[in-house]
């Protein structure tokens, strides 16, 4: 069964940490009725997955900013490009 969950932020987007936590919850779960030892393993695995996702999401953000920086710089907007780079 798929349930809908709505999450919002105020005046900002989601951080890599927030998105990673949401993704990890969807990737790894354990029912309340699961044996405690197995549930503990699932929770530990979910935490590892979350940390891995955070690192890759941060890398994706940096990579995208580099792409935007280069596009702006190549378009003759070095000041705007620097602002993006400094975010």
15 phi/psi in degrees, rounded to 5? -80, 160
- In the chain, where are the structural domains located? 16-25+33-85
Residue 3 has what pLDDT?
A: 73
User: How many CB atoms sit inside 10 A of residue 20's CB?
Assistant: 21
- CA 69 from centroid of its chain's CA atoms: 21
Report pLDDT digits (tens) over 5-27. 889 999 999 999 999 999 999 99
Report pLDDT digits (tens) over 49-69. 999 999 999 999 999 999 999
């Amino acid at each position: 069964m798929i349930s809908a969950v709505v999450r919002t932020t105020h005046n900002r987007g989601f951080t890599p940490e927030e998105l990673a936590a949401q993704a990890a919850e969807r990737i790894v779960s354990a029912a309340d009725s699961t044996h405690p030892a197995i549930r503990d393993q699932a929770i530990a695995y979910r935490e590892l997955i979350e940390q891995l996702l955070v690192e890759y999401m941060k890398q994706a953000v940096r990579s995208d900013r580099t792409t935007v920086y280069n596009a702006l710089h190549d378009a003759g907007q070095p000041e705007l490009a620097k602002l993006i780079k400094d975010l």
